[in-house]
Structure 1
Amino acid sequence: MATNSGLFRGWRVVAGSGIGIAFGSVVFTGGGFAQLAHAWGHEFGWTQPQLAKAATIYLLLQTVTFPVLGWLLDRWGSRKVASASIVLFTLALLALSRIGDSLNQLYAAFALIGLVSGGTNVVSYARALSLWFDRQRGLALGLAAGSQAIGAVLLPILGAKIIATAGWSAALSSLAAFELVVCLPLVALLVRDSPAPYGLLPDGAASAGPAAPAKALVIGLSRGAVLRSPTFWKLALAFAVMGLTFYAISINIVFILSKTAGLAPAEIAKIQAIAGAAVLIGRIGFGWLLDRLHAPRVGMLTLAMGAVGLALYATTTAPTLILFAALLGGAAIGGEADLMPYLASRYFGTRSLSSVFGWFLTAFFVGAAIGPIAFATIATSQNSVVLPLYLLIALHIVPMLAFVTLGRYSSVADLAAANGKVPDLENDISHSKEKDGLAHS
């Protein structure tokens, strides 16, 4: 079989996807909200539960959009949906930059961000990446999603500096300008929805025939079949707990470490940056592992690392151990986020991949919406941040049990049969992954 010479076009898709993901709304909320919340609390006298409510509103409303967004992505593709979302996110950031001393304005601005910005995140790019890659799918997803580390490192540090020198409104306006001038053009230029129109198969193999429509590479379960699968509901529950844990910590990290270790916001910003850098390690490292190990085992490893990080936050004031906890937590969430699109494609195929990923994100953000306000409420009512940290550790048993009970991946033949077609992707390009799934089941 002939192969494509030169740099495989799929890596350009990875690069464009990474640029969009690096500064999407998830990174903005996870990496920038804590610094903004501290500034708002200082200027307007708002309490931590009041501020956490803004993040909860954003998360809840973005959760509502993911199923619709998944349908749009399956219909219109990554490039168009992601580009439109970046424009809308820019406008929402500008609206947030203009709020006054009004909690209602704060909540309305975060409601707007939640409704319009879902497509700035990994969900917009997962289908395109899954069509461009098969044997290296985990690595491609990990590299693209790992770019979140860039934003997670830059947003807290640069945000804290701009807030200190020019104010929080200037920090938000600067991010909005960056979205419009840098992210939008590069996503539109680099992201392409499928290799088929270029006469290519996944991973860069040349097709034996002429260029084909993108749907030629799409096989898998229908939406209805996915929703009837016990595997789907196990994974949805696992991701809900993961979302609750991650956002309970990231939204309240300044609050937590100022209480447990007496750290100042500038010191905590550095810890956030280290955690953000660790996300990159987790994204790429766990993406590489996903191409080699049965994914549920990788999921259990990420959960174990996250639990150790939480335990360190609850028990130590030593700076070195706090940094180590941040590294563990960042790497763990990097691996956990890789799991959603990867498991969706391996168990259910690409036919409804964006929809399935959207549903998984809905589960993740239902948990995420509960986490920040629940953590802040328990911590303030009990006058302790240690108790809710231990409760989060205990919750890890739920996704652990879900991963333990998962079976083998769906084979290409199974997915093709569900799609009503004979598997014909150049002698089954996915045979090695099918064997991996059987071997590790």
Structure 2
Amino acid sequence: MSFARSALGRVYHGWWNVTASFVCLMLIFGVPTMLLPFIYGPVIDEFGWTRAQVTGIASFKFAAAAFSAFATGFLVDRLGVRFVVVACCFITGIGMCGFLWVNDLPSFYAVGIVLGLSSTAIIVALKTLVSRWFHRNQGLSLGCIMLGSSLAGILIPFVAVPLIEARGWREAFAFMSLGIWGVGLPVFLLAARETPTSEELACEIEGRPFEEFTPNQTRSHAKAQASLASVVAMPMFWLIVCATFLTSFVDQSLNQHFILFIDRDLGLGAALAARAFSATFVAGVFAKIGFGWLYDRTSIRGIQGCYLLMGLSVALAFPITGAVSMFVFALVRGVAHGGMLIKKAIFAKHCFGPVHLGKLIGIFTATASAGYAAGPWVVGWLYDQSGSYRPAFLFLLSLCLVSAALLVWVVPTYRNRLTRMASEESMTRIPDGSR
């Protein structure tokens, strides 16, 4: 693949960044996020809290994450990705060990807040890093790093259930933090590089060897962009913000209530619920690569399709009567979830360009985190009021349809301009006799 290699035959360093980011995302974000729903049942059994109370930790976690993501976008642009990643390693490790001292609801929520400070910060940092190195294959590279959360989702059910049964939910969380210190941080420090040269970036954008580029050509890809204030003033920016909030509300509501819904409401048991949870992330492995490829080619329209697929996954929750229909729901849910995790960086770069990339990814991630915070609590409250998930699922389905409709007016302005520029440059390279 020409975009992956330099003139000297070495692998394009952006792919080493993808590898390091994959490992970090799995251990710093994926493991604690996927482990959390598995402790809800044991926590309810120990303390007697309601579902709204116990899933409230996710709301506190994502509320903290919303603030952190917004600040991280500016910190990444000012202090660099490396600084943010190292800080996230320490914050997540401390938070996971913090469950050892939980003995009441405030301390339970406090640990969630600590985990929230790093959960989306690491995503903002890694997505910004990868998006700096890729344009033509931005979606594919983002899909590759987000496989880290899929791998965590596949493995955690098989590790979490026996570990919680053997050591309890507190020690299980603390034990799982060891991978951050022993693997994630060393790999990132050794493999990652923050900024590509103009020649490296030009090679990736057009898939041509370095020697074919001139300084003027590489500078043409860095055309001046609008100020951040003018970007925020655009109606398209606010359409993206609204759609991101609503679909994130849906996505995390389903994620946090998945185990409780299948285990306790459908009565299918914790073991089958764990296998279904893993199935969603097996589907997500293929979905993240597939949607990454799709977004590189269809941009916003591909994201719109993902929103509609999320709505379909909600609708499939209604007719579940046994294992077969449950796994159909889980697989469609996993595919839609995989596409959801890539979209924010696509919005930022395809619509507004690379100049404010870190800040915009931070803003969109903060918006998503606000949706993540609100969704699980609202769905838990609706369940507690009605004794059923049916009203909540109808509400979630309507939000998916509204979100897809909002994207009708969103246009990938920067992507379209860059595609047009590349086409014009290729025309100038065609010899007169061959036209």
* TM-score of the aligned structures, taking structure 2 as reference length: 0.88
Amino acid at match of 2:111: A
1:283 counterpart (288, 291, 297) = 288
1:45 Cα deviation after fit: 1.9
1:317, 1:28 → 2: CA distance? Answer: 30
1:126 alignment partner in structure 2: 127
2:138 alignment partner in structure 1: 137
Once the two structures are superposed, what CA deviation does each residue of 1:3-54 show, in whole Å capped at 9, x if it has no partner? 352322111111111111123336522x211111111112222221110111
Q: CA distance change for structure 1 residues 199 and 388 in 2, over 3 Å: closer, same or farther?
A: closer
1:219, 1:146 → 2: CA distance? Answer: 33
Contact 1:259 1:385 in 2 (8 A): no
1:92 alignment partner in structure 2: 95
1:251 counterpart (248, 256, 261) = 256
Once the two structures are superposed, what CA deviation does each residue of 1:84-133 show, in whole Å capped at 9, x if it has no partner? 21122111111123212x11111111122223443232x11122212211
2:432 alignment partner in structure 1: none
1:147 alignment partner in structure 2: 148
Contact 1:412 1:430 in 2 (8 A): no
1:178 alignment partner in structure 2: 179
Q: CA distance change for structure 1 residues 108 and 429 in 2, over 3 Å: closer, same or farther?
A: farther
2:139, 2:223 → 1: CA distance? Answer: 18
Contact 1:279 1:330 in 2 (8 A): yes
2:324 paired with 1:323: no
1:394 alignment partner in structure 2: 398
1:199, 1:250 → 2: CA distance? Answer: 39
The runs of 5 or more residues in structure 1 that have no matched partner are: 416-422, 433-441
1:311, 1:129 → 2: CA distance? Answer: 34
2:376 paired with 1:372: yes
C-alpha RMSD of matched pairs (Å): 2.7
Moved more, 19-28 or 300-309: 19-28
1:383 alignment partner in structure 2: 387
Q: CA distance change for structure 1 residues 385 and 191 in 2, over 3 Å: closer, same or farther?
A: same
Amino acid at match of 2:62: L
Moved more, 182-191 or 196-205: 196-205
2:362 counterpart (358, 361, 365) = 358
Contact 2:120 2:365 in 1 (8 A): no
2:111 alignment partner in structure 1: 109
Contact 2:28 2:88 in 1 (8 A): no
2:72 alignment partner in structure 1: 69
Once the two structures are superposed, what CA deviation does each residue of 1:141-172 show, in whole Å capped at 9, x if it has no partner? 11111221011112232111200111112211
Q: CA distance change for structure 1 residues 431 and 394 in 2, over 3 Å: closer, same or farther?
A: farther
Amino acid at match of 1:109: V
1:67 Cα deviation after fit: 1.4
Amino acid at match of 2:284: V
Q: CA distance change for structure 1 residues 4 and 286 in 2, over 3 Å: closer, same or farther?
A: farther
1:82, 1:363 → 2: CA distance? Answer: 21
What does 1:19-34 correspond to in 2, within 5 Å? 19-25=23-29, 28-29=32-33, 31-34=34-37
Moved more, 364-373 or 72-81: 72-81
Amino acid at match of 1:106: F
* TM-score of the aligned structures, taking structure 1 as reference length: 0.87
2:407 alignment partner in structure 1: 403
1:419 alignment partner in structure 2: none
Amino acid at match of 1:147: G
1:312 Cα deviation after fit: 1.5
Q: CA distance change for structure 1 residues 218 and 168 in 2, over 3 Å: closer, same or farther?
A: farther
1:259 Cα deviation after fit: 4.4
Once the two structures are superposed, what CA deviation does each residue of 1:359-382 show, in whole Å capped at 9, x if it has no partner? 111111111111111101111111
Once the two structures are superposed, what CA deviation does each residue of 1:321-369 show, in whole Å capped at 9, x if it has no partner? 2111111111112112211101211111111111101111111111111
Once the two structures are superposed, what CA deviation does each residue of 1:53-90 show, in whole Å capped at 9, x if it has no partner? 11111111110111110001112222221122112211
1:388 Cα deviation after fit: 0.7
SS of aligned partner of 1:346: helix
What does 1:221-236 correspond to in 2, within 5 Å? 221-236=226-241
**Number of aligned residue pairs:** 415
1:5 counterpart (4, 9, 16) = 9
1:135, 1:4 → 2: CA distance? Answer: 21
2:195 alignment partner in structure 1: 194
1:262 alignment partner in structure 2: 267
Amino acid at match of 1:282: A
Amino acid at match of 1:82: V
2:232, 2:201 → 1: CA distance? Answer: 32
1:348, 1:70 → 2: CA distance? Answer: 15
1:217 Cα deviation after fit: 5.5
1:430 Cα deviation after fit: 11
Contact 2:247 2:399 in 1 (8 A): no
2:351 paired with 1:347: yes
Contact 2:82 2:194 in 1 (8 A): yes
1:429, 1:12 → 2: CA distance? Answer: 29
SS of aligned partner of 1:6: coil
